[in-house]
Structure 1
Amino acid sequence: MLRDDELVELIRRGESDRVEFTESTTDLDKVRQAICAFANDLPDHRQPGVFFMGLKDDGSSAGLTIDDKLLQRLGGLRNDGKILPFPAMEVDKRLLNGIDVAVIQVEPSDNPPVKVDGRCWIRVGPRRAQATAGEERRLTEKRAWGNLPYDAHPVPLSSIERDLDLMKFSNEYLPAAVSPEVLRENDRQLIEQLQALRLTTPDGIPTATALLMLGRDPRYWFPGAYIQFVRFAENELSNTTLDQAELSGPLPEQLRALDLLLKRNIGTALDLRGTTHAEKPDYPFDALRELVRNAVIHRTYESYTPVRVTWFADRVEIRNPGSVYGDVTKENFGQPGATAYRNPTLAEAMKTLGFMQRFGIGIQTARNALAANGNPPPEFDIQDTFFCVTIHQQNEQP
């Protein structure tokens, strides 16, 4: 983060297209919009934008209390799922000119346009505004393709017309990704809509995410992009299978099909304890669903290996190619705040279509569901080339 003397100088110069002040701690939508605008960096300063919470418009003290709870709320805005793609930002408490302020420093995005709830915000001098279609086009043209993750890269030799299901994009993906008001107000061509949603390059080449989510044949481009499901009758691999399937196609179709498979294979027993009798599953559906979706989103798609769901008599194993990524290590995996996305554009697309509710909570959601159902905690095996989670049956059978 910038030094104190650099921050003081920004305050002295006042609000601009790199600086915003606020004296409110409750209007988080305003904060998200400011983060979005700084990340988009429409003026192309290629320098961080800074949001100061605790200052009036003239830079004087607003008399706010800046505590750890507030800082945690502000830091949580990065991955609450409303700002997409994820902004690179830091949050800190600083004493500047004798005033306690919360400072949010936002780095320019390599993958604009950044949006909040489907709306693109920019800075025009000292004010914040929604981007026009022309301004969004400028942001799209700014993308630094060489710095982007694998899932945002173009796939050579693929084409929009031949390889993408454009009806699915128009009828399903676009209405979920862009607010109805914005759709009514603009008259963009299809290729402009695809570009704005980071699904194609400016010259119209589909990205990896586009082909995985909307492709007519994703496995042609990514041979390992499928889910292999098999259920054995025993506790180990055997020749006796009770169910099996190979799920291909766009990832949303795979996940919907797998939901049905999981529900079909979850057994229930009548719990006769207590005054009321209720059926209880051997595995909670929510836990299995979260862990499989986690595997599909976080896996590496450069591998020819599928996500494997192996169901034994006493446990379920979910295994995906690719280990932990970025700031997440074997030591801090699963801890609060330890999140990193190998495929952030794919994660954004999954959230757009409702396969994720909020970023960074899937593991905890699974743990909570298992505990509530009486299952042991999940066991994680993290290796250099793969990741495996094992879910055991209930501790106590009725």
Structure 2
Amino acid sequence: MNFNIDLKELARRESEQVEWKENGDDIKIAEGIVRTISAFANDIANVGGGYVVCGAKEIKDEHGFPKIQYTGLSANKLKEVELKVTKYCQNYVDPAIAPRIVEIENPENNSTRILVFVVLRTRHAHVYRDGETSKYYVRIGRETKEARNGVLRQLLTEKQEIEYFDKRTNTRATEADIDILVFRDSMQEMGLLFPEKSLEDYFSDREQIAELVSPLFVRTDLDGILHPRNFTLLMFGKKTSITSKFPEAYTILSIYKGTDRSEQTAERYTLTGTIVEQAKRSIELLNTQAYTAFDKTSSKPNQVKYPMRALQEAVINAIVHRDYEVPEPIRITVFADRVEIKSPGTLHWGVDKEKFLQGKASPKWRNQSFAYLFNKLQLAQSEGQGIPTIIRTMREEGCPEPIFEIEPESLTCILPAHPRHQIIRELQEIQDKVILQKYQEAKTQVLTLLEKDLYNFRSLDLYCEVIAKLKLPNELYNFLETKKLDFYLVNPSTLINIAEILASDKDNIKYQSLANRALSVAMSGKIEEGQIAKAVVNLKKIGEPEDVIKFASESMLKYPNLAHNSTLLEKRATAKMDMAKKCIDAGRDRNSNPKTKARAWEMCRQLLEEAERDLYLALENAENPSEKFFIENDINFLNRMKNISKKPSNK
């Protein structure tokens, strides 16, 4: 640390490294300074220590930004503060601290001085004792705070006052608490089981299963019994042993149908056993949430709701890096629009929060043994790759950015669903309202979706369905005209629905014209086989007979299965009968010359012959009595037309 102190440079530094004090002669202020000095020496943020500057205070400038005002200390006051603080550092702090003391001229008043206590990071965890309490202090942002719970454990672990949790000896457990079959299978899966060694060889306080992993057991001096380390028990222990020794080391996975917990829980799983079993079971259950939505209108038709890789990494991170001394389970909650994975224990103090949120933080382990063994099991990424992988895979799949909520006692990873799946959920809600005949509510909701994406064919289809239920072709017409919908950007099946609704008002020429245009564009595109019959029905209502015949014939050639479709056959037949009527009119026209009349009657008989074949084939393939009834009526009418065609007028 630099002892050539530049006050301007200090003023620009992060506040976690600098504390400004106007005075220090008061006992309470002096005690506060010493607590801050102990916090700088503890240096849980690993910034190297810090500075306590006496004779200066933070104020706000005219714009409200922080500014340092140098009030300074007189010679007597400076000596008094120095003696009091150094005395307290010796008497109240254990191990005692001897900060470096630097006097600097006051840049705003040369009759006073600025006193700076320079505190270096030490390898000890310093406790502050004032005769009544013993507390450890750390710097959290701009403040000096007492280290409690996970923060205290982290401090003591970093200073090697206590072992890391995973490597600690569990004196309440013995060899009997280890499941030998689980251990064998795991060792085989990790590729760490060697034929020259028996399983018993690994049950030792000397033998390591891998270079970076401590021996599985520790032999105590008092009883000579082998006791497993915490990682041994949690990785390879019997389910009952883990539950009794670590009652909170389990996972709760809940699946809600809605977007919050107010809705009834559809499914709930309590996952116990080894942490490997919990991880695998969690991933297996979450697999069902990573399903694919298909959208043929998109450049990327297959879209998963959540990238499976991101889900897996989030689960493994929660299990491997959680604080097992926080008495809470891991909670995985699946909502309709997101997955939340809450891990007990806050972010490791050695990790920079901002870099962590960007996926650029240097790796720090809370449980190194778990991280190493999960990597060997191919469940975890290599060092420090978990968070970057989550961020990258979510981005690559077009999902919203993951959200990380860092709380004092927990860390939650939130994975939002892909937008396509969020829309699907809303569409399902609208569909439910249609089923329940809440048409106005459904219409309002679907119009909101169309404001966001006018060309979402599912939304357009639902809108058409609602309009059809309400029998409001005028609203559909106004919507199409106002939005200036480009029919060439709309799904053909949707255009068929639009045409059908508009064509229902036979007296409105504008509606009929727009319906005809929608149907023409639909037929020029790629219509699904199942929609062709519907298109022909609507074309028959508003189109010319020639168009119906042409479209039906081309569809039958394209899709051989439709060659026996009773609807297509019947509509093509009646279209030919319509053309035959025109031929009869031409044959009866007294103003036509004989050749034209003869040709008209010939065409009429040919069309009726073709129509007759279609109708009998349609009757043969019709599946319900109602359809057969209409076809039989068509045949009767055709027979009357045939009789007429046999008696052409010679006039």
Q: TM-score range by the shorter chain?
A: 0.5 to 0.7
The alpha carbon displacement at 1:273 in A equals 2.6
- The 5-angstrom pairing of residues 117-266 of structure 1 reads 147-160=162-175, 162-173=176-187, 176=190, 178=192, 180=194, 183-184=195-196, 189-192=201-204, 195-197=207-209, 198=214, 199-203=216-220, 204-217=226-239, 218-266=242-290
% identity of equivalent residues: 27
Residue 279 of structure 1, aligned match among 295, 302, 306: 302
**Taking structure 1 as reference, are residues 367 and 237 closer, same or farther at Cα in structure 2, changes over 3 Å only?**
same
Q: Contact conserved, 2:321 with 2:365, CA < 8 A, in 1?
A: yes
Higher relative contact order, structure no. (Cα contacts within 8 Å, ≥ 6 residues apart):
1
Name the residue aligned to 1:101. Answer: none
* Number of residue pairs the alignment of both structures matches: 251
Q: Contact conserved, 2:189 with 2:377, CA < 8 A, in 1?
A: no
State the SS of the aligned residue for 2:369. helix
Q: Deviations over 1:194-232 (max 9, x none)?
A: 841322114521011011111103121111111111111
Does 2:354 correspond to 1:318? Answer: no
Q: Deviations over 1:119-175 (max 9, x none)?
A: xxxxxxxxxxxxxxxxxxxxxxxxx99653111001112001x20012222343266
The alpha carbon displacement at 1:350 in A equals 1.4
TM-score by length of 1: 0.58
Q: Contact conserved, 1:326 with 1:341, CA < 8 A, in 2?
A: no
Residue 381 of structure 2, aligned match among 333, 349, 357: 357
**Taking structure 1 as reference, are residues 159 and 325 closer, same or farther at Cα in structure 2, changes over 3 Å only?**
same
Tell me the amino acid that sits aligned with residue 305 of structure 1. Answer: E
- The 5-angstrom pairing of residues 103-122 of structure 1 reads none
RMSD: 2.7
The alpha carbon displacement at 1:177 in A equals 5.3
Tell me the amino acid that sits aligned with residue 374 of structure 1. Answer: G
Name the residue aligned to 1:384. Answer: 408
Q: Deviations over 1:58-97 (max 9, x none)?
A: xxxxxxxxxxxxxxxxxxxxxxxxxxxxxxxxxxxxxxxx
Residue 345 of structure 1, aligned match among 335, 358, 369: 369
Counterpart Cα distance in 2 of 1:324 and 1:385: 9
The alpha carbon displacement at 1:383 in A equals 1.2
**Taking structure 1 as reference, are residues 314 and 238 closer, same or farther at Cα in structure 2, changes over 3 Å only?**
same
Unaligned runs of 5+ in 1: 1-143
**Deviation >6 Å, runs of 4+:** 185-188
**Taking structure 1 as reference, are residues 167 and 274 closer, same or farther at Cα in structure 2, changes over 3 Å only?**
closer
Does 2:393 correspond to 1:369? Answer: yes
- The 5-angstrom pairing of residues 13-32 of structure 1 reads none
Does 2:347 correspond to 1:333? Answer: no
Structure number with higher strand proportion: 1
Answer with 318-327 or 184-193: which moved more. Answer: 184-193
Tell me the amino acid that sits aligned with residue 247 of structure 2. Answer: P
**Taking structure 1 as reference, are residues 392 and 186 closer, same or farther at Cα in structure 2, changes over 3 Å only?**
closer
Q: Contact conserved, 1:326 with 1:342, CA < 8 A, in 2?
A: no
**Taking structure 1 as reference, are residues 348 and 243 closer, same or farther at Cα in structure 2, changes over 3 Å only?**
same
Name the residue aligned to 1:299. Answer: 322
**Taking structure 1 as reference, are residues 186 and 236 closer, same or farther at Cα in structure 2, changes over 3 Å only?**
closer
Q: Contact conserved, 1:173 with 1:352, CA < 8 A, in 2?
A: no
Answer with 326-335 or 232-241: which moved more. Answer: 326-335
